[in-house]
């Protein structure tokens, strides 16, 4: 298979294989997405929105950030510390941070004045665009490179992410006659990419055992060990507060069903998707569905108790989205009509409303119930953690 994309990055990947031998797909994906200045997420390229490769909920309408801000205000009242910390991991262009901060500043000034808003961002390009957009909130916003830059048990407030874990590099595994193999990449005699299988190591096998995952014979799927490591880090950094994860995916019981024999890994390039991971390297997004059972299980090992697992539609409706939609429906101007259609997209069944899930975890909160989980969806395999 020919490896195409950014020539310099393709050369770096091939050079590494020639030096070290076969590399895991996880290491290839990590380089394709995060290699300094050349990876998809670390290069100065428009990734989100009409000129990018995909949309996020915060791109559609400010209501997403407004309702999150409303939820954060409720959380702030449960925090005993005089300082309220909001930590956003992976803020993209910064639109969601802008909507949250603007809502707090205008509607909840008492909460805004005690808020410390930290953005964890590795992309120099995104940091630059975020700082320009959030200039008016410079009194409360700061940046860090990684969650490990916080001291253990130093966060009192809420850590949250929107489409973070789906972009972590993953190991590709395959079940062949009851034995688990991992996909590696090497080069053939012509210098082209060649896929090879090796027996999976103990870290992958332990993951499958601990989550009681039984793969159908012949299934190829993903294991996200980076997500395991990261959720443990989040748990260690929170002293008192919540972790809210918004992303697309399922619990183990749904994720590894026989009708997903090829797994969930996809590439996105200019709003089209494919399964060709070896073209447009450094220029296309590569994502996989999140295993929320893993985030819940391994979060608990670092002190994060699971409060609820729901979908975006229920979460936003619980926070008052339908009231906003009803108000817009009564108006007759074109702007209200257009906005109404955007808001419906956020809660559309079989669309963003159902596809995107919300996992709420907490640590050291006496009465953890929050408004966003007032009504939960029926407890099917899609919601059984």
- Domains recognised in the chain with CATH numbers: 1-385 (3.40.50.12710)
Weakest mean pLDDT among 51-55, 185-189, 200-204, 369-373? 51-55
pLDDT at 52: 47
Mean of pLDDT values over 126-147: 96
pLDDT of residue 337: 82
Q: Report pLDDT for 55.
A: 60
Q: Higher-confidence residue: 19 or 325? A: 19
Range in 45-49, 100-104, 114-118 the model is least confident about = 45-49
Computed over every residue of the chain, the mean pLDDT equals 94
pLDDT for residue 50: 46
Range from 58-62, 99-103, 156-160, 330-334 carrying the lowest mean pLDDT: 58-62
Residue 28 — very low, low, confident or very high, per pLDDT cuts 50/70/90?
very high
**pLDDT above 70 coverage of the chain, percent:** 97
> Is the pLDDT score of 54 beyond 70?
no
Determine what percent of the chain is predicted with pLDDT higher than 90.
84
Give residue 359's pLDDT.
98
Q: SS3 string of the chain?
A: CCCCECHHHHHHHHHHHHHHCCEEHHHHHHHHHHCCCCCCCCCCCCCECCCCCECCHHHHCCHHHHHHHHHHHHHHCCCCCCCEEEEEECCCCCHHHHHHHHHHHHHCHHHHCCEEEEEECCCHHHHHHHHHHCHHHCCCEEEECCHHHCCCCCEEEEEEEECCHHHCCCEEEEEECCEEEEEEEEECCCCCEEEEEEECCHHHHHHHHHCCCCCCCCCEEEECHHHHHHHHHHHHHEEEEEEEEEEEEECHHHHCCHHHCCCCCEEEECCEEECCCCCCECCCEEECCEEHHHHHHHHHCCCCEEEEEEEHHHHHHHCCHHHHHHHHHCCCCHHHHHHHHHHHHHCCCCCHHHHEEEEEEEECCCCCCCHHHCCCCCCCCCCCC
What is the band of 49 on the pLDDT scale with cuts at 50, 70, 90? Answer: very low
pLDDT of residue 341: 85
Asked if the model's pLDDT at residue 51 lies above 50, the reply is: no
Answer with the residue of higher pLDDT: 125 or 20.
20
Average pLDDT over residues 4-22: 97
Q: What is the mean pLDDT of residues 82-98?
A: 96
Q: What is the mean pLDDT of residues 360-370?
A: 98
pLDDT band at residue 46 using 50, 70 and 90 as cut-offs: low
Question: For residue 338, what pLDDT is reported?
Answer: 85
> Can you tell me the mean pLDDT for 250-256?
97
Choice between 281 and 327, residue whose per-residue pLDDT is larger: 281
pLDDT score, position 299: 98
Average pLDDT of 64-93?
A: 96
Q: Is the confidence at residue 344, as pLDDT, over 90?
A: no
Confidence of residue 11 (pLDDT cuts 50, 70, 90): very high
Residue 45 has pLDDT above 80, yes or no: no
Read off the pLDDT of residues 266-320 as tens digits, 9 standing for 90 and up: 999 987 888 999 999 999 999 999 999 999 999 999 999 999 999 999 999 999 9
Identify the residue with better confidence: 336 or 297: 297
């Amino acid at each position: 298979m020919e490896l195409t994309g950014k020539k310099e990055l393709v050369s770096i990947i091939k050079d590494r294989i020639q030096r070290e031998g076969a590399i895991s797909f996880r290491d290839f994906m990590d380089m394709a997405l995060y290699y300094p200045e050349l990876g998809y997420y670390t290069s100065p390229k428009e990734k989100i929105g009409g000129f990018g490769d995909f949309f996020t909920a915060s791109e559609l309408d400010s209501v997403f950030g407004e309702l999150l801000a409303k939820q954060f205000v409720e959380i702030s009242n449960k925090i005993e510390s005089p300082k309220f910390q909001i930590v956003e991991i992976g803020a993209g262009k910064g639109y969601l941070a802008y909507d949250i901060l603007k809502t707090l500043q205008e509607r909840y000034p008492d909460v805004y004045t005690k808020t410390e808003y930290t953005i964890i961002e590795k992309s120099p390009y995104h940091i630059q665009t975020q700082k320009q957009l959030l200039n008016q909130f410079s009194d409360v916003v700061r940046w860090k490179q990684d969650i490990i830059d916080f001291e253990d048990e130093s966060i009192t407030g809420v850590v949250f992410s929107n489409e973070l874990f789906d972009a972590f590099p993953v190991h590709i595994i395959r079940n062949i006659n009851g034995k688990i193999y991992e996909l590696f990449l090497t080069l053939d005699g012509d210098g082209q990419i060649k896929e090879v299988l090796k027996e999976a190591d103990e870290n992958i096998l332990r993951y499958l055992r601990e989550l009681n995952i039984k793969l159908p014979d012949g299934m190829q799927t993903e294991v996200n060990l980076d997500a395991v490591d990261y959720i443990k880090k989040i748990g260690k950094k929170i002293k008192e507060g919540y972790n809210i994860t918004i992303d697309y995916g399922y619990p183990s019981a749904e994720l590894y069903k026989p009708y997903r024999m090829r797994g969930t890994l996809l590439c996105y390039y200019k709003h089209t998707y494919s399964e060709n991971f070896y073209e447009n390297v450094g220029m296309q997004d590569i994502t996989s569905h999140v295993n929320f059972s893993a985030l819940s299980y391994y979060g608990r090992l670092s002190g994060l108790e699971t409060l609820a697992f729901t979908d975006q539609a229920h979460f936003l409706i619980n926070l008052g989205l339908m009231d906003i939609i009803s108000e817009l429906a009564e108006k007759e101007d074109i702007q209200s009509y257009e906005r109404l259609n955007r808001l419906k997209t956020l809660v559309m069944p079989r669309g963003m409303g159902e596809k995107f899930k919300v996992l709420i975890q907490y640590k050291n909160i006496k009465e953890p119930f929050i408004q966003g989980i007032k009504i939960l969806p029926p407890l099917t395999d899609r919601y059984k953690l």
